[in-house]
Amino acid sequence: MRRTALLASAALLTGLLPLASAGAAAGADEPAPVPVDAFEGEVPFANPPADGIFTWGSDTDDPPQLALTARADAPEGAKVLTGSYDISGYGGFTHDFASGLPAHDWSTHKGIRFWWDGQNNAKKIAFEIKDGGANGEASELWTTSFTDDFTGWKQIEIPFTDFTYRTDYQPVGGIDQVLGLTQMWGYAVTLPVGLKGTFAMDDVELYGKADQSLRASVTTDSAVYPVKEGGTAAVKVSVATTGAAPIDEPVTVAYESAGGTAESGTDYTPVKGEVTFPAGTASGTSRTIQVPTLKDKSAESAETIPLKLTVAGAKAPTETPQVVIDAHGLPYLDPKLPVQKRVADLVSRMSLEEKAGQMTQAERGAVTTQGDIATYDLGSLLSGGGSTPTPNTPEAWAKMIDTFQLRAQATRFQIPLIYGVDAVHGHNNLVGATIMPHNIGIGATRDPQLAQKTGSVTASEVRATGIPWDFAPCLCVTRDERWGRSYESFGEDPALVKSMETIIQGLQGAASGKDLKDDDKVLATAKHFVGDGGTVYGSSTTGSYTIDQGVTKVTRQQLEAIHLSPYQTAVDRGIGSVMPSYSSLDIVGDGQGPVKMHARADMINGVLKDRMGFDGFVISDWAAIDQIPGDYASDVRTSINAGLDMIMVPYAYKDFRTTLIDEVKAGRVSESRVNDAVSRILTQKFKLGLFEKPYADTSGAAQIGSTAHRAVARQAAAESQVLLKNANGVLPLKKSQKVYVAGSNADDLGNQTGGWTLTWQGSSGKHTDGTTILEGMRKAGGDVTYSKDASAPTSGYDVGVVVVGETPYAEGVGDVGNGNDLDLTPADKAAVDKVCAAMKCAVLIVSGRPQLIGDRLSAVDSLVASWLPGTEGDGVADVLYGKRPFTGQLPVTWPKSESQLPINVGDTSYDPQFPYGWGLTTLTKVPQGGSATLKGLEIAARIAEKAGSAEAGRALVTKARLLVQQKIGSAITAATAKPFADADHLLLTGDYAAAVAKLTEAYPAG
């Protein structure tokens, strides 16, 4: 899913600019216009902290191309700023003043204006200014917009009163949330999305004379004031000024309770009056207006009492505060009633518009007007990857979500929002959270109990920030490691994926859903239904993707056996929500051809809901219905009729809700389908206890990133390490050895945690709290010298450890062929070659999928698949130094070459570098014996199988596996690899005797 992102802002150093202006002449009582940007070359194209103009965007294609162009029609001077753009995510440009110089004072002016060369494209263009803070990148952001609905040059005048505080993104989380204008750092322009275009701009300047209404503002402490019937609401009204100076002139606030759904004199005592802040009143002074409500004996839905405020002498609040008399006495509010009855009662009372709102999910960054939550009866918000509050702290998350929940209290039935995030390996959007290995590493542990513990830690940290819903786990069965989402899968074998679904209980608790209301549990999501891991290379039609979101072409038997079976397990485990895949499904012989999963009623209604008995709700992926062929109305009705219950429409929530209502009224979507969808959504909200406790329970916040939680992640990192080769017993290391450490991923926490860490794509470098592999080795007491590129002298060392691999990516951005391959980088290859030529060496590959290492394998003594171990590099050090043994096994087949892909356990032709299930051990005692021993183990396994002793059966197969693996050594052939891999699949399906028989088959060939 995509992923809100940062919007920077800026302006120019006025002291360096000429005072002449092409703007209108100043009036006699107004100051002369002050130039901010003339675009004659006086300000360079440069990034902060320098004074300059710079571009930005959501990816490499989105920043506009800028130039200073001489034009005869320039409104001022000879040149104008011109640019071209083609933006898919977001993009624009900024002028930041120099950070090393004082901020600018704009407080004596009325506003800012500039010339814009109109293209008449009817698009809104956002304009932003920066206020306060240390510099332009640590200031408050204030925004407004204008519409390009004209042709040719036009002077755009924007009074400072038009700017509103940005609620979707703030780089510092708010300084005082007052537009002070005394410490200004520049401006920014956000260009239209989805339109290839050009622009021209000239002569940015300050104009007009400020009055007190620009320097003083009146605010209320909230926009919504819920109160129990008969209680009294207290509305705090405050006055604040630029620079916190006392007000020069009196400010009066006339108030009157008027309008709304509550009846004056029956539901509340009407209030009317005036509050005065005399001249000289200190900034921040408050007065309280009380609104008494009246109690009667009838059960009622919530009722609103708007408190109209009329302000003289200052800027008025941006919206009218509302007192809300809480709904009361209605059956759905009774926690003693069964959930089913509460749901039925509530649905029976709701209008179509309210139901459509419940089926709508918006990205929190898109809801710039928070009143929209109540206006459109929104049922859900989410944070895409990297869509975080500022500062990115547990407290800020909880406060942000509580603010959203408060808005939902202004709706008729006060239905709480359900807020969702992609916490796919810990609470990965939160700085300081415990970051687990990605699923591919969890699959390598072969430890279902540990998988459940990781889910428990994740749920605890997510819920402690006020979030009750997690878009995890991914139950994809990855069948081609060219897929950029390979690391989101537990492995290539559906039996392995199913065994790791204990994570669902870690997230949700009991299958019945009885634990969902607890402060350490969240609603889980099985994704992506169905077949996302089986897409054919080259079948994607999404941008430059090669495999992600492509077509899965399978027989019905393959579909059932490989891709569908993990979902039945999830349903049996009580999964609360399911997310369909972006990909298309092409079932051989069904005559439909490739059909987008979001449109497949046969799979969502027919298989998932009807056959499997799924009783949770289905949530779409990010704007995924837009990929269904047809117009928007067709997208909406097709997806809803296919069985989707809630649609993730990040930025199109108004259009979606309106369209759905129209489709129902036209009879193209039935009301019964809508009622079913809403009932499913409300059922989970009731189970989560949101009606009783809509706000964040932060009692568990102290455990976020705690020692106990990190201990689980450390264990998971250790158990995920797969020892592929260990010639001459190089591993484990001894603390007495002098160790030479090199490689790009030895000391890079961002590379170690991978994609979906703080941002959608992740990033290299230090971005959260954690321990790199190098730091872990040093903490373990090792005698370690580090040289990233192996440029330091290599003589005098006992052993080398070279940590190489991938840099972060997510989804199709990471597809092989989309700027990626499975080879090590030249720098990594050079580091391996240099170190391994100079000394005994161990190579660790930190990656989301196998890397091609065959051409260097003979020179490498020990090889470790480290996957993406998360924040706890100590766990990797634990196995390197023998504190824990290597026990991990390959969750996917490790290929010899890219041409072998796809290659998977069970293939008829199977000749990998390392087979599925391979994993050497550094246990002190490796089983001894030969064919006779294996025969005895097979007999014992058959007895254990008949006795129903899974633990004994697994132990016997493991003993046989280690014995055979030791015999094979590095001489892996097709004859040994195939039965070896098959044995691991049989182990996971409970066929213990057959597994030992397969291992016996592999033994003589070895």
**471 in Cβ contact with 580 (< 8 Å):** no
Kindly give the residue spans of alpha helices, DSSP state H, lying in 150-219: 212-215
Residue that is written with structure tokens 């890219």 in the block? 898
At 984, which helix (H) or strand (E)?
helix 974-988
Distance CA 663, CA 625 (A): 15
Helices then strands, each counted (H, E), the chain: 24, 37
The separation between CA 98 and the C-alpha centre of its own chain, rounded to angstroms, equals 33
Strand partners, 251: 277
What are the distances in angstroms from CA 772 to CA 51, 303, 605, 899? 36, 55, 46, 33
For the chain, state the CA radius of gyration. 31
Supply angle C-alpha 48, 54, 55, rounded to 5.
130
Go through 731-764 and write b for each residue having 16 or more CB atoms within 10 A of its CB, e for each that does not. Answer: bbbeeebebbbbbbbbbbbbbbbbbbbbbbbbbe
Give the whole-angstrom CA distance, residue 731 versus residue 878.
11
The tokens describing 554, both together, are 């399978």
Give residue 594's Cα distance to chain centre. 29
Give Cβ neighbours of residue 633 (< 8 Å, ≥ 6 apart). 659, 662, 663, 668
Helices (H), 387-438: 394-408
Q: CA-to-CA distance for 848 and 486, rounded, in angstroms?
A: 7
621 catalytic per annotation: yes
Give the pairing type, strands 216-220 and 232-241: antiparallel
Asked whether the bond before 473 is cis by omega within 30 degrees of 0, the reply is yes
Tell me the C-alpha distance between 400 and 314, whole Å: 27
DSSP 327: P
Name the one residue in this structure whose structure tokens are 């992609």.
422
Q: How many Å apart are CA 912 and CA 853, to the nearest integer?
A: 12
Residue 173 region by backbone torsions, left for phi larger than 0, else alpha for psi between -120 and 50, else beta: left
Report d(CA 868, CA 436) in Å as an integer. Answer: 9
CB distance 360 to 264 below 8 Å: no
Closest CA to 523 of 450, 458, 583, 567: 458
* Cα dihedral 949→951→953→958 (10° resolution): 180
Grouping H, G, I as helix, E, B as strand and the rest as coil, residue 619 is strand
What are 20's two structure tokens? 């002449």
Residue 544: CB atoms within 10 Å: 12
Q: Is the dihedral of CA 167, 172, 176, 182 positive or negative?
A: negative
Contact present, 138 and 111 (Cβ < 8 Å): no
Q: By C-alpha distance, which of 501, 404, 422, 500 is closest to 462?
A: 422
| Other beta carbons less than 10 A from residue 670's beta carbon | 13
Signed CA dihedral, 831, 837, 840, 845: sign only: positive
Report the SS3 class of residue 585.
strand
State the catalytic residue, choosing from 621, 815, 984, 1001: 621
SS3 271: coil
DSSP string, 57-109: ESSTT-SPEEEEEE-TT-SSSSEEEEEEEE-SS-EEEEEEPPTTSPPB--TTS
Positive/negative CA dihedral, 404, 409, 411, 414:
positive
Among the options 229, 811, 984, 991, which is catalytic? 811
- Gap between the Cα atoms of 739 and 840, Å rounded: 10
Which residues are designated catalytic?
A: 621, 811
